[in-house]
């Protein structure tokens, strides 16, 4: 009798272990299978109903924001123990819009692998972690992308004295690249499309890639342009290296929310737009109080919550945009603070300029 | 001729003192490094290699390296984002630990004074570091004072202190968690997402080893049990867990567990990592304890039965005390391994010592300082691991393990 029970129990345990093993595999590489599991879960999620996220955030008293804790310029912990960076500032902006207090955020550092799970299971309210907007992620993962906050793209850095000016000059060159990334695949795609022969020199981590480039083991190095710029300042003679104009891939980075709560999605979208609008209207954290007191422009008055009750349409207070600009700043301020001329990166605005200056940032009107 | 003389010496019954190996510095050099031409050659080659490796390393460490990144971020490395105005709670926990350890030392290892003194030098050395704050300096000195106070009390009243010591040891663990987590309204709650650096590394290792210890004993006993279900479960559990790497268990805990749980239930991610480490360590602990159990001769069981002890009594009074004493070195070894293994939580997004190092490297002013930062945390791991292994070796000697 007891023997039979033992066998059944053993069988069950083996089954459980097998299931667990399959689950483990799914999480690491088999993308489609994982997403099926995930979507079902996301639909059954309590916090995914209309308006549920905002209510949960307000009841809790703070926002939980998923960030990268290890990306220069975008997310890191400073020596005082506070989160800083471009993505981090957007978390503060959302908190300012909801609570009128940018400090009401709890940051959850996430790795690239766990970021989507954390969002789907409701562990975080919004994911702002240098995540590229792609069709697959927008659909299968059960997530929605708010407007792009940073247009990145893959670039190539070479030594100035090499005489390389464009991609075609790289024929026969050795190129350092991190293995297993979309960067490596993009490089192969772009080069074969142009019929350029090159030797990839692959490494595990970004540190190794740039170390090898500095030692002269390859003629060029490829990565996202923002990364190239931030790494260039650490090379011995930054002025001896140039970044080619060519862009190998599109990497639009922006915030993500769960599908199924459109009100929350709207809030995140318009928080991003508010930072664009602030720059378009020339309103920043320094002059916002003065403008609010003096302005007669109906568009500005709507933006700053003096008329039109725009905030209530989002489920927020009417001074939501004022709070964002006042406590966090407009897009230009956020950009300059983290990536601009006074930082070691000194990253040119490029595509990330307002449409008025020839960039891609364009906010729909607030009315 | 010679032989005969030697024989004669022995046959005459004279007892010669054994030859002593005492050399002058030169003599030692000659015997060990320059005794033959190829020894000489090897010595010279080795010296050259050492010189070639050490010279640039030392030149880099002393002249080129910019250690400011470590100095400025020292608090991050030690306690992560733990609020600065609450750090006194960690010091209280440390002082209590010092007091308990001093007391335990006096009662259980009254003879091992030299190593005790050696261990006391470490906090003094830390207090002497040039770049730490006055508050930390004071606290390191206090740490030694508390340790000495505990030791003095133990030496003064060894008998009377035995029972309080046991209580203190049992209570220490919950007190530690309460101190660090906080109890409203006396101590402000510090949420686990603010725990980091060496504090988190230590907590993961200490919680891992402490909680896995009883679990491991149960599993080891279960594996030797005659009840098929208990035995089957234990064997399966041990073999499955030992068959997967820790990083897999951690990924399961971080990524899969939240998907299986209903959305109302949210388990804190530090807790999930702790659970993963505990479950993992328990399987290894079970095998270590089993080794100890199997080393106990069957006669001990039979003698216990002959005295009329029950199964539980046999285990509790006769077998386990002997078995656990035998496996102390192995358990310390496992603790050291676990201490280093906790660095794996960095890849599931926790800011332990390794995770905080990557974060510090992302600070705009310190980009490209990988060598300084990683060398520093390697040094921390080494200091702690070495101190533990040294203490465990001395503990073996003091307990007479292997000498029966």
Considering the domain architecture, whether residues B93 and B55 belong to the same structural domain is answered as: no
- Mean pLDDT for each consecutive 10-residue tract of chain A (367 residues)? 50 48 38 34 49 93 94 91 95 97 94 87 92 90 94 92 88 87 85 91 83 91 87 83 88 93 96 96 95 94 93 94 96 95 87 93 94
Residues in chain A closer than 8 A to B248 (CB atoms): 24
- Using a CB–CB cutoff of 8 Å, tell me whether A344 touches chain B: yes
- The pLDDT of residue A34: 34
C-alpha closest to that of A38 among A27, A49, A47, A46: A27
Q: Please state which of the ranges A100-114, B256-270, B351-365, B389-403 shows the lowest mean pLDDT.
A: B389-403
C-alpha closest to that of B283 among B322, B317, B236: B236
Average pLDDT rounded to a whole number, residues B63-80:
91
Q: Pick from A47, A111, A123: which is nearest to B347 by CB?
A: A111
Query: Would you say residue B76 lies in a domain?
Result: no
Query: Would you say residue B339 lies in a domain?
Result: yes
pLDDT category, B376, cuts 50, 70, 90? very high
pLDDT tens digit sequence for B115-162: 788 888 888 888 888 888 889 999 999 999 999 999 999 989 888 888
Both structure tokens of B214: 């009883």
Considering the domain architecture, whether residues B221 and B369 belong to the same structural domain is answered as: yes
- Using a CB–CB cutoff of 8 Å, tell me whether B271 touches chain A: no
pLDDT tens digit sequence for A204-251: 777 788 889 988 999 999 988 888 887 887 788 888 899 888 888 888
- The pLDDT of residue B401: 59
Which residues have C-beta within 8 Å of that of residue B193, sequence separation ≥ 6?
Answer: A106, A107, A108, B81, B269, B270
Those of residues 228-247 in A touching chain B at CB distance below 8 A are: 230-231, 233-234
Q: Pick from B232, B351, B364: which is nearest to A109 by CB?
A: B351
Domain boundaries, chain A: 2-43, 46-149+254-357, 152-251
Both structure tokens of B17: 């003192």
Query: Would you say residue B325 lies in a domain?
Result: yes
Give the relative orientation of helices A86-99 and A52-60 as an angle to the nearest 10 degrees.
90
Considering the domain architecture, whether residues B119 and B100 belong to the same structural domain is answered as: yes
Q: How far apart are CA A126 and CA A119, in angstroms?
A: 7
Considering the domain architecture, whether residues B274 and B311 belong to the same structural domain is answered as: yes
Q: Pick from A108, A120, A122: which is nearest to B193 by CB?
A: A108
pLDDT tens digit sequence for B210-236: 899 999 999 999 998 899 999 999 999
Q: What torsion, rounded to 10 degrees, do the Cα atoms A91, A95, A96, A100 define?
A: -170
- The pLDDT of residue B13: 59
Q: How far is A66 from chain B (nearest CA, A)?
A: 11
Instruction: Report the CATH superfamily, name and number, of domain A46-149+254-357.
Output: Periplasmic binding protein-like II (3.40.190.10)
CATH of range A152-251; options 3.40.50.1820, 3.40.190.10, 3.40.50.300, 3.30.420.40: 3.40.190.10
Domain of residue B307: give its range: 196-404
Considering the domain architecture, whether residues B218 and B252 belong to the same structural domain is answered as: yes
- Using a CB–CB cutoff of 8 Å, tell me whether A13 touches chain B: yes
Comparing alpha-carbon positions, the chain A residue that sits nearest to B350 is A109
Q: Pick from B229, B348, B370: which is nearest to A111 by CB?
A: B348
Q: How far is B55 from chain A (nearest CA, A)?
A: 20
Domain's final residue, options B164, B189, B214? B189
- Averaged confidence pLDDT in chain B: 87
Comparing alpha-carbon positions, the chain A residue that sits nearest to B230 is A6
- The pLDDT of residue B343: 93
Average pLDDT rounded to a whole number, residues B79-104:
92
- The pLDDT of residue B1: 44
C-alpha closest to that of A218 among A205, A203, A229, A239: A203
Q: How far apart are CA B400 and CA B404, in angstroms?
A: 7
C-alpha closest to that of B372 among B60, B133, B78, B75: B60
Q: How far apart are CA A281 and CA A293, in angstroms?
A: 15
The answer to whether A119 touches A143, Cβ cutoff 8 Å, is: yes
pLDDT tens digit sequence for B275-334: 999 999 999 999 999 999 999 999 998 999 999 999 889 999 999 988 988 888 888 889
pLDDT tens digit sequence for A101-148: 999 999 999 988 788 988 988 889 999 998 989 898 899 899 999 999
Q: Which of A42, A121, A241 to mutate to test the interface with B (most CBs of B within 10 A)?
A: A121
pLDDT at B392 over 90: no
Considering the domain architecture, whether residues B391 and B281 belong to the same structural domain is answered as: yes
- The pLDDT of residue A261: 93
Considering the domain architecture, whether residues B261 and B370 belong to the same structural domain is answered as: yes
Residues in chain B closer than 8 A to A24 (CB atoms): 248, 251-252, 256
Highest mean pLDDT among A106-115, A308-317, B19-28, B361-370: A308-317
Query: Would you say residue B263 lies in a domain?
Result: yes
Residues in chain B closer than 8 A to A238 (CB atoms): none
* Matching residue, tokens 């850095």: A157
- Using a CB–CB cutoff of 8 Å, tell me whether A56 touches chain B: no
The answer to whether A96 touches A327, Cβ cutoff 8 Å, is: yes
Q: Estimate the share of chain A in helix, then strand, then coil, as percent rounded to the nearest 5.
A: 50, 15, 35
Q: For chain B, what is the domain count?
A: 3
- Using a CB–CB cutoff of 8 Å, tell me whether A31 touches chain B: no
User: Is A152-251 the same fold as A46-149+254-357?
Assistant: yes
Q: Pick from A77, A122, A231: which is nearest to B76 by CB?
A: A77
Considering the domain architecture, whether residues B225 and B311 belong to the same structural domain is answered as: yes
Those of residues 64-103 in A touching chain B at CB distance below 8 A are: 69-73, 75-79, 81-82
Q: Pick from B228, B349, B362: which is nearest to A72 by CB?
A: B362
The answer to whether A97 touches A267, Cβ cutoff 8 Å, is: yes
Query: Would you say residue B1 lies in a domain?
Result: no
Considering the domain architecture, whether residues B200 and B317 belong to the same structural domain is answered as: yes
- The pLDDT of residue A45: 43
In CATH, what number is assigned to the domain containing residue B381? Answer: 1.10.3720.10
Q: How far apart are CA B282 and CA B205, in angstroms?
A: 12
- Using a CB–CB cutoff of 8 Å, tell me whether A223 touches chain B: no
- The pLDDT of residue A43: 38
Considering the domain architecture, whether residues B243 and B388 belong to the same structural domain is answered as: yes
C-alpha closest to that of A68 among A37, A108, A117, A39: A108
- The pLDDT of residue A35: 32
- The pLDDT of residue B184: 80
Q: Pick from A6, A37, A38: which is nearest to B228 by CB?
A: A6
Considering the domain architecture, whether residues B203 and B321 belong to the same structural domain is answered as: yes
Considering the domain architecture, whether residues B104 and B153 belong to the same structural domain is answered as: yes
- The pLDDT of residue B351: 92
Query: Would you say residue B236 lies in a domain?
Result: yes
Those of residues 345-364 in B touching chain A at CB distance below 8 A are: 347-351, 355-356, 358-364
pLDDT tens digit sequence for B170-225: 899 889 989 999 988 888 899 888 999 999 999 999 899 889 999 999 999 999 88
């Amino acid at each position: 009798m007891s023997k039979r029970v033992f066998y059944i129990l053993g069988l069950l345990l083996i089954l459980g272990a097998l299931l667990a093993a399959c689950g483990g595999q799914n999480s690491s590489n088999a993308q489609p299978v994982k997403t099926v599991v995930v979507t079902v879960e996301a639909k059954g999620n309590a916090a995914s109903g209309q308006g549920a996220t905002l209510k949960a955030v307000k009841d809790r008293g703070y926002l939980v924001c998923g960030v990268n804790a290890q990306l220069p310029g975008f997310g890191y912990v400073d020596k005082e123990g506070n989160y800083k960076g471009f993505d981090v500032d957007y978390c503060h902006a959302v908190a300012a819009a909801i609570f009128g207090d940018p400090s009401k955020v709890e940051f959850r550092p996430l790795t690239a692998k766990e970021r989507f799970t954390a969002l789907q299971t409701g562990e975080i309210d919004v994911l702002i972690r240098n995540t590229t907007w792609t069709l697959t992620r927008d659909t299968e993962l059960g997530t929605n992308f708010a407007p792009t906050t940073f247009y990145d793209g893959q670039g190539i850095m070479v030594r100035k004295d090499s005489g390389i000016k464009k991609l075609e000059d790289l024929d026969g060159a050795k190129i350092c690249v991190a293995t297993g990334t979309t960067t490596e695949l993009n490089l192969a795609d772009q080069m074969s499309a142009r019929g350029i022969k090159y030797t990839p020199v692959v490494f595990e981590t970004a540190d190794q890639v740039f170390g090898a480039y500095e030692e002269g083991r390859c003629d060029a190095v490829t990565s996202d342009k923002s990364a190239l710029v931030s790494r260039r300042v650490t090379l011995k003679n930054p002025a001896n290296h140039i970044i080619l104009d060519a862009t190998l891939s599109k990497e639009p980075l922006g915030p993500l929310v769960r599908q199924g709560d459109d009100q929350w999605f709207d809030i995140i979208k318009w928080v991003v737009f508010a930072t664009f609008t602030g720059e378009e209207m020339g309103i920043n954290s320094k002059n916002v109080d003065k403008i609010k007191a003096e302005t007669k422009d109906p568009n500005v008055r709507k933006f700053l919550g003096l008329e039109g009750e725009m905030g209530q349409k989002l489920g927020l207070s009417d001074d939501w945009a004022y709070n964002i600009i006042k406590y966090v700043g407009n897009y230009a301020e956020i950009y300059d603070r983290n990536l601009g001329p006074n930082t070691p990166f000194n990253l040119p605005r490029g595509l990330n300029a307002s449409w008025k200056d020839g960039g891609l940032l364009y906010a729909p009107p607030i009315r | 001729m010679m032989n005969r003389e030697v024989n004669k010496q022995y046959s005459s019954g004279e007892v010669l003192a054994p030859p002593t190996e005492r050399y002058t510095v030169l003599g030692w050099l000659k015997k060990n490094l320059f005794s033959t031409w190829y020894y000489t050659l090897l010595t010279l080659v080795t010296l050259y290699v050492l010189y070639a490796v050490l010279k640039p390393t030392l030149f880099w460490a002393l002249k080129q390296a910019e250690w400011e990144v470590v100095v400025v971020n020292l608090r991050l490395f030690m306690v992560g984002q733990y609020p600065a105005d609450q750090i006194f709670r960690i010091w209280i926990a440390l002082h209590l630990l010092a007091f308990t350890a001093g007391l335990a030392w006096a009662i259980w290892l009254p003879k091992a004074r030299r190593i005790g003194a050696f261990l006391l030098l470490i906090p003094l050395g830390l207090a002497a570091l040039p770049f730490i704050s006055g508050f930390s300096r004071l606290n390191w000195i206090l740490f030694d004072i508390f340790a000495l106070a505990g030791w003095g009390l133990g030496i003064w009243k060894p008998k009377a202190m035995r029972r309080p010591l046991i209580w203190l040891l049992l209570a220490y663990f919950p007190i530690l968690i309460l101190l660090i987590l906080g109890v409203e309204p006396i101590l402000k709650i510090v949420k686990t997402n603010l725990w980091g650096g060496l504090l988190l590394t230590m907590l993961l290792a200490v919680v891992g080893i402490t909680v896995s210890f009883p679990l491991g004993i149960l599993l080891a006993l279960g594996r030797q049990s005659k009840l098929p279900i208990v035995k089957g479960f234990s064997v399966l559990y041990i073999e499955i867990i030992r068959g997967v790497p820790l990083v897999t268990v951690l990924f399961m805990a971080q990524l899969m567990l939240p998907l299986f749980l209903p959305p109302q239930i949210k388990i804190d991610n530090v807790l999930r990592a702790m659970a993963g480490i505990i479950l993992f360590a328990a399987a290894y602990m079970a095998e270590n304890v089993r080794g100890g159990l199997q080393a106990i001769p069957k006669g001990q069981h039979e003698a216990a039965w002959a005295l009329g002890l029950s199964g539980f009594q046999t285990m509790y009074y006769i077998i386990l005390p002997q078995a656990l004493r035998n496996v102390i070195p192995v358990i310390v070894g496992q603790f050291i391994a676990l201490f280093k293994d906790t660095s794996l939580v960095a890849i599931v997004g926790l800011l332990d010592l390794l995770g905080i190092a990557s974060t510090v490297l992302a600070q705009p002013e310190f980009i490209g300082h990988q060598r300084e930062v990683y060398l520093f945390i390697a040094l921390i791991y080494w200091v702690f691991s070495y101190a533990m292994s040294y203490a465990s070796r001395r503990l073996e000697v003091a307990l007479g393990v292997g000498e029966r």
